[in-house]
Amino acid sequence: MNAVTYPQDNPHLWFTQLRAIIGIELGRVLFTSRATAIYVVAAVPIILLTTVGYIDNPRTGGPITGNIANARYAFAVIYAGFLLGTMVFLGSASLFISLFRGEILDRSLHYYLLSPVRREILAAGKYLAGLIASIGLFGTVTLVCYLLLYLPYGVSQMMSDFSSGPAARELTLYLLTTVFACIGYGAVFLLLGLFFRNPIFPILVLIGWELMHFILPPALKMISVVHYLKGIMPPQPWRGPIAVVMASPPAAVCMLALTGLTAVALILTVLRLKRIELRYTDS
Amino acid sequence: MAVYERSYHGYDGELTGTGNRILVISKFTTRELFRSRMFCAFFAICFVPSVSFLIAIYLRYNLEMLTELQIPIDEIFIIDAGFFINFLQYPQASLSFLLALVVGPGMISPDLRDNAMPLYLSRALTKTDYLLGKLLVLVVLLSLITWVPAVLLFFIHAYLGPEGWLVDNLQLPFAFIVTSFAWIFTLSLTALALSAWIKWKQVAQITFFGFFVMSSALGEAVREIFGGWLGSAFSAFDSYAVLISYAANEPVPISMPPSVAIMNMLVLSALATALIFQRIRAKEVA
Amino acid sequence: MTRGNDAIEISGVSKFYGEVLGVNRVDLTVMPGITGLVGPNGSGKSTLMNLIAGLLTPTKGTISILGLTNREPQLLYQHIGYCAQVDSFPPRMTGRQFLINYLRVHGFDKRSAAHLAHEALTRVSLLATADRRIDGYSKGMRQRIKLAQSICHQPRVMVLDEPLNGLDPIARAEIIDLFLELAAGGAHILVSSHILHEVDLISDRVVFLSNGYVVAEGDVQGIQGEIKHHPIQIRICSEAAPVIAARVFDLPDVVEARLHDDRRNVFVRTRNADRFFLAFNQMIMDHPWTIEAVSPVDESVEAVYQYLVADEPVSQ
Amino acid sequence: MEADGAGAGLADATTPPPGVRNDQPPPADGADLATDARSQPVIELQNLSVTLRGHPVLKSLTTRVTGRCIGLLGPNGAGKTTLLNTLLGFYPSTTGSAKVLGRDIRERAVRQQIGYMPENDSFIAGMSGVNFVRYMGELSGLPPEQALERAHEVFFYVGLGEARYRNVEAYSLGMKQLVKLAQAIIHGPRLLFLDEPTNGLDPPARTRMLQLIREIRDSGEARVIISSHLLRDVEECCEEVLILRHGEIATYCNLAEQRRSIEKFLLLQVVGAPATDAGPDPVDAFVAGLRDRGCEVGMQNRRRLRAVLPPTMEVRNVYELATALNVQIRGLDHKRDSLEDIFLRAMEGDHRPGDGS
């Protein structure tokens, strides 16, 4: 009895393979010991904002953030500095780099390269798994943190802000920024993970590039992720040196530009994957 | 005339006591470190601020050279306790952090990756000797760029400077030594703990770098929301700064009570030591 | 199943890593059956296996495996099973899960993957520990799960880099039987190994590699035969060794007879083995000697290895 | 489970004769060992048990090992590595005790006299070969000057003289094994644990490694325990064999005694004239002829036969048949118990393949 149907006779073979790779990679990225660092990074802001919600300001007796407008301003600062700058950046760095470089260090990438799967599908499978994990995790954290702001002000305040106030629009923009940050940083780190033997360099390279971005000439600004993220984020009342910044293009253009940047990075990844040569024995 | 055919013969010379194994480990680890030119260059750079402060002190007390340069002496060069505190707090704190980042994770991770532990443990030494040997290297290197130059500069200044300055500032060197040791042990133990648990040196370095950057970023965020000193409780750098000024009984730059600063360092060191000992108890070998 | 031709064609292949030589101008046709790959470390053995498995692309020349090349991996790897020398696995996975994942990436549906995985686990007799995590496996079990992974998708070409490394004698015998069974089924099996007597036992033909060149290819006897100009040496052990040593010169083509100092073994060197042995049969008929043992010192694969590849002595 | 008959008999054996390798004449000098070194047991186990992660791996082992070179054998998961690691003090023994060279394994000083060669690659990255061995020497208690001098000496002894200034991670697999042996013998230990010393070596390197082990054994300055799966290598170096199964001692015996030579069991290598279309293939005719004369014949492959002669038949008759059929007897040997047979006999009663703990 031949209970086995061979892949060649499977009409939509590539879809089965894609689903399989995504499943495997999600398991590897979210449920192994290396993933604990990402969960810790994601938990910190939630814990912080919950404490903020519960503790009352000793002097005024009211919520620490004074009024909701001030709270939203504080969120903007925390979002740009901590949530986006550290959590999403470092989180997606460790997550996307480990997709390829992690497997090369573990010497298990050859199991994929030896499977009859197109390199395009392999790269797409890995990238999508990374996206699902990062957007799922960091998107939820952004949403939860934003809602936690309303903890001291009660549900009614939240309802009114969402129905009439600026909250709905602001939250959508924040979520979009997080999503596009994952998409943009994800593709770039996936590519850098394939090229650099030592993962610390891609991270330092990008930190340097992103930090310098506001002093870069306009031409070079075009290819830095943070420049477009600024366009999507709610307008920031910047203080300090970063205030002097070239106005980012409107949100729609930024999203398009980021998608384009991602596509370029993915194409380079596939080309590199097609030519990669693994030599474990005497590497 | 004799033909010595190359047969095996044992070693029957005298043997050293088992006590000196820690020093052997430290000696060889240091020797291997300084074999890489990149590290020697980096280590030399760590001494640049010490030398420049020395020159500053020297210039301060040789007026003739300054007069030609028409620099108003008194406003710029007030060499007092604050001078040394700034020396320790700014250049040396970040340089010692970078040194710990460069050296620390490379202490144990390569041995784990290359499965060298059985070579150590099959000899008459325990894992504690191994860890103390590695820790000693870190502590010595970090001391060379924190309290050692500070104390030296202090005594040079006491020698060159006004009479009686030494007597009424005598508590400074002790302050520098005690706080620097607290800072050194915090850095070294954290680096060793990460190095003992993570097989790849580079990953341990990222984690070490990420941990401190993350904690100070978190401190920033907390300061944004709460204001006051709670934010700096998260940052080890601020704790070090607070401790130095407090120990030298100078005005403390950040309003954080020194007890919180000490607690920050103690918690970190205790956690790191616990992680290291947890690794010792786990009898994993080859 | 795409019906490529039924051979592995390696024509004029060279592989360089920068200026380091991997293999140089290899021309080889590998037919179905077991092919042993033998050569010292660094002789290009692993490079050749990785080239055939498609993990490496030749710097010059072409490799076609059953008519396919590694430019279309989605077709090639349906027919190739590879067992690497390195034993490393994706983290936190049980043996069965590891196989099922590998098969799912191949494109098999859940049911077929589970069935094939079960079959492969049975063949390497790992069913008992299939559902335990691989990082808890002993060295021998890790070797078996790697072998299972290289045969579970029923490939027609198997490239195995030191497959018996670290296996205990019982496991070695079982895995050798598995190879013989698969070869009987018409598969190409490429085995690299340092245990020469095992290679000689199981392989239909042996490829000798040295410093990146293929120095000889064929079955051991054939190779030995071709090294005509090199007289072969035979050890004869008998009580009557001294007498044999004296009389053996009457036989044709005998060039040397050396009596061992234990006076029970005599080493005879002859230029033509066939004629010598037939004459030797007759000689025993004419004399009352009792022969305890006769062994061809040069016919073993160790001797051929030493002659072709190594410059240091290789014990039996 | 008490070790089976052969093993128990050994406990009070007198000095076993130097090992006789299967087909090479015995060593000429019959190494004369100081008798006291001979009688003092290398390892004494007193119902030693070890449980790892709640799983019993060694089950109350009791034995006294006294040979100069002992092979430690057993299928995967039988507890070989665990026993080695317990004797080295890596794993705590759950119950029972063990003595190495007369001292309890819990004493730290006992490891001063032990040399250990780990199974997998193990070295210290970034160090040159001689520097690495010198470091290990100083860690074993040698003063710095002697350590350097001794490092060069052992490097030349193991034959790595010319590679001693290169970094260890640039060494080939064979050289890494040799440098591991060098670091194990630098402090002149009285007991050497070698875990899979010849694993993955190419034939010349394997021959050199076995030669070194034999030299160390014959020098009488160190006893050697080899844990390996390659039975031929163990057969070439060891006089005694301790076989473990499921964490118990299956057999502990002296190789020379165990090799019962069975006169009538022949191993033949035959070559017939190319099968002309006239008669049947000579080799098949030869086999048929042997069977007519009452021999049991097994054909391993076209060239190799196993034949069990009936009592009435002699080797001479085999030659008669060969001459008549023009078949060349290229190889003929009386089958003797190889270590493989001893190993398989020890595994009897274990028909489940791939047991593994």
The whole-number pLDDT of residue D17 equals 35
Number of domains in chain D: 2
Residue A105 in contact with partner chain B when CB distance is under 8 A: yes
Residues with Cβ within 8 Å of A226's Cβ and at least 6 positions away in sequence, in order, are A210, A213
**pLDDT score of D27:** 37
Q: Quickly tell me which residue has 């549900």 as its tokens.
A: A155
**Are C136 and C37 in the same domain?**
yes
Same domain assignment for residues C293 and C212: no
Q: Please check whether residue B11 lies inside any domain of the structure.
A: no
What does the block give as tokens for A206? 């990008």
Please give the Cα distance from D190 to D224 (Å, whole number): 9
Chain segment D185-223, per-residue pLDDT in tens? 999 899 999 999 988 888 888 888 999 999 998 888 889
Mean pLDDT of C235-251: 86
Lowest mean pLDDT, pick from B120-129, B170-179, C217-226: C217-226
Q: D24 with D53, same domain?
A: yes
Chains C, B in contact, 3 or more Cβ pairs below 8 Å: no
Please report, for the domain that includes residue D263, its CATH number.
3.30.70.100
Read off the pLDDT of each residue in D70-77 and give the average, rounded to a whole number.
Answer: 86
% residues pLDDT > 70 (chain C): 94
Any CB–CB contact under 8 A between A271 and chain C?
no
Min Cα–Cα distance to chain C from A56, Å: 45
Report the residue from B17, B116, B120 with minimal CB separation from D123. B116
In angstroms, rounded to a whole number, what is the distance separating the alpha carbons of residues A266 and A190?
8
- The secondary structure element, H or E, covering residue B207 is helix B201-226
- Domain boundary residue, one of C175, C193, C223: C223
Q: CA-CA distances (angstroms) from residue D178 to C314, D153, D231?
A: 17, 13, 20
Residue B196 lies in a domain: yes
Verify that D236 and D263 share a domain, yes or no.
no
* Better pLDDT: B219 or D21: B219
D323 to C162: CB separation less than 8 angstroms, yes or no = no
Q: What is the pLDDT of residue A75?
A: 82
Q: Is the pLDDT of residue B285 over 50?
A: no
> Closest approach of chain B CAs to the CA of A42, in angstroms?
12
Chain A CB contacts of B222 below 8 Å: 48
- Could you tell me how many helices (H) and strands (E) chain D has, helices first? 12, 14
D98 is a domain residue: yes
Q: Which residues contact A1 (CB under 8 A, 6 or more apart)?
A: none
CA distances from C128 to C94, C98, D81, D208 (A): 12, 15, 22, 39
Neighbours of B168 (CB within 10 A): 8
Three-class secondary structure assignment of D105-140: CCCHHHHHHEEEECCCCCCCCCCEHHHHHHHHHHHC
Does C111 lie in the same domain as C73? yes
Range of the domain at D287: 259-334
The domain total for chain B is 1
Q: Do B18 and D169 touch (CB under 8 A)?
A: no
* Residue corresponding to tokens 């050289």: D175
Q: What is the pLDDT of residue D349?
A: 54
- Asked if residue C213 is part of any domain, the answer here is yes
What are the backbone dihedrals phi and psi of residue D320, each rounded to the nearest 5 degrees, phi first?
Answer: -60, -50
Q: What is the pLDDT of residues A164-194, one digit of tens each?
A: 777 788 888 899 989 999 999 999 999 988 8
**Contacts with B, A 73-102, CB within 8 Å:** 74, 77-78, 81-82, 85-86, 90, 94
Checking if the pLDDT of B184 tops 70, the result is yes
- Number of helical H runs and strand E runs in chain B: 16, 0
Give the separation between CA C89 and CA A109, rounded to whole angstroms: 9
Of C313, C196, C191, the residue nearest D230 (C-alpha): C196
Chain A contact present for B210, CB below 8 A: yes
Q: Is the pLDDT of residue C157 over 90?
A: yes
Cβ contacts of C50 on chain A, cutoff 8 Å: 279, 281
The answer to the question of residue B13 being in a domain is no
User: Cβ of D90 and B283 within 8 Å?
Assistant: yes
Q: Quick check: B178 pLDDT over 50?
A: yes
Contact D242, D48 (CB under 8 A): no
Chain B hits for A86, CB-CB cut-off 8 Å, are: 213-214, 217-218
Question: How many CB atoms lie under 10 A from the CB of residue A95?
Answer: 28
Q: Looking at residue D5, what is its pLDDT?
A: 33
Q: Which two tokens stand for residue D119?
A: 């199974």
Asked if C77 is an interface residue toward chain A (Cβ–Cβ < 8 A), one would say yes
Q: Give A101→chain C minimum CA distance, Å.
A: 13
Do the two chains A and B touch, given a threshold of 8 Å on CB pairs and at least 3 pairs?
A: yes
Shared-domain flag, residues D121 and D191: yes
DSSP per-residue letters across A221-257: HTT-HHHHHHHHSPP----SGGGS-PPPPPHHHHHHH
D39/D71 same-domain check:
yes
Domain boundary among C184, C205, C223: C223
> Would C256 be classed as within a structural domain?
yes
Structure-token pair, residue A275: 């030519």
Q: What is the Cα–Cα distance from A240 to A166, expressed in whole angstroms?
A: 25
Residues C93 and C219 in one domain: yes
- What was the pLDDT predicted at A60? 67
C215 and C276, same domain (yes or no)? no
- Six-digit token pair at B241? 């700064």
- The CATH number assigned to the domain holding C288 equals 3.30.70.920
**How many whole angstroms separate alpha carbon A163 and alpha carbon A165?**
6
CA-based radius of gyration for chain D: 24
How many domains is chain C built from? 2
Which of B203, B213, B220 best probes binding to A when mutated, by most A CB atoms within 10 angstroms? Answer: B203
pLDDT tier for residue C115 given thresholds of 50, 70 and 90: very high
Which region among C44-53, D4-13, D248-257 has the lowest average model confidence (pLDDT)?
D4-13
> Is B25:B130 a contact under the CB 8 Å cutoff?
yes
Q: What is the pLDDT of residue C120?
A: 93
CA distance A78 to B222: 9
Specify whether D307 is located in the same domain as D197. no
User: Are residues C55 and A113, on separate chains, in Cβ contact within 8 Å?
Assistant: yes
Q: What is the pLDDT of residue D4?
A: 34
> Is residue D3 one of the residues assigned to a domain?
no
Is residue C1 in some structural domain?
no
What's the half-sphere exposure (Cβ side, CA atoms, 13 Å) at B245?
Answer: 19
| Confidence (pLDDT) at A65 | 67
Mean pLDDT of D13-34: 36
Helix (H, G, I), strand (E, B) or coil at D197: coil
- Chain C positions in Cβ-Cβ contact with residue A31 (cut-off 8 Å): 92
| Helix%, strand%, coil% for chain D, nearest 5 | 35, 25, 40
Residues of B in contact with D190 (CB under 8 A): 10
Predicted confidence (pLDDT) at residue D282 exceeds the cutoff of 50: yes
| Chain C: partners with 3+ C-beta pairs within 8 Å | A, D
CA atoms within 13 A on the CB side of D35: 2
Say how far apart CA A177 and CA A179 lie, in whole Å: 5
Q: Assess if residue D341 is contained within a domain.
A: no
Q: How far apart are CA A82 and CA A135, in angstroms?
A: 17
- Which residue does chain D place closest to C166, by CA atoms? D229
Select from C105, D34, B108, C263 the least CA-distant residue to A28: C105
Residue-number span of the structural domain to which C261 is assigned: 231-297
Show which of D191, D216, D246 is a domain's final residue.
D246
CB contact under 8 A, A200 and B202: yes
Residue C132 has pLDDT above 60, yes or no: yes
Report the gap between the CA of D188 and the closest CA in chain B (Å).
4
Residues of chain A with pLDDT under 50: 1, 239-244, 281-283
Residue C97 confidence (pLDDT):
93
**Which amino acid, one-letter code, is at B216?**
S
Which residues of A are less than 8 Å from C84 in CB distance?
110, 280
Domain co-membership, D101 together with D170: yes
Q: Which of B124-128, C152-156, C272-276 is the least confident region?
A: C272-276
Domain extent listing, chain A = 11-282
Are residues C219 and C273 both part of a single domain? no
Give a yes or no: residue B1 inside a domain. no
Question: What pLDDT does B73 receive?
Answer: 58
**pLDDT at site C202:** 83
Give dist(CA C127, CA C96) in Å, integer: 9
Chain C touched by A2 (CB under 8 Å): no
Instruction: Answer yes or no: do C237 and C216 share one domain.
Output: no
Please tell me whether residues C219 and C237 are part of one structural domain.
Answer: no
Give burial (CB, 10 Å; 0-12/13-18/19+) of B120. buried
Across the strands, what pairs with D119?
none
For residue C167, being part of any structural domain is answered with: yes
Q: Quick one: angle between helices C95-106 and C139-151, nearest 10?
A: 20
Q: Compare CB distances from A74 to B203, B217, B224 and report the shortest one's residue.
A: B224
Q: Chain-centre distance of CA C256, in angstroms?
A: 33
CB contact under 8 A, A23 and C77: no
The answer to whether D219 contacts B18, with C-beta atoms less than 8 Å apart, is no
Mean pLDDT of B183-209: 88
pLDDT tens profile B65-105: 666 666 665 555 667 777 788 887 788 888 999 999 999 99
Contacts of residue B220 in chain A, CB cutoff 8 Å?
81-82
Distance from CA of B203 to the nearest CA of D (A): 17
Residue B64 neighbours by CB distance under 10 Å: 6
Nearest chain B CA: its distance from D216 CA (Å): 6
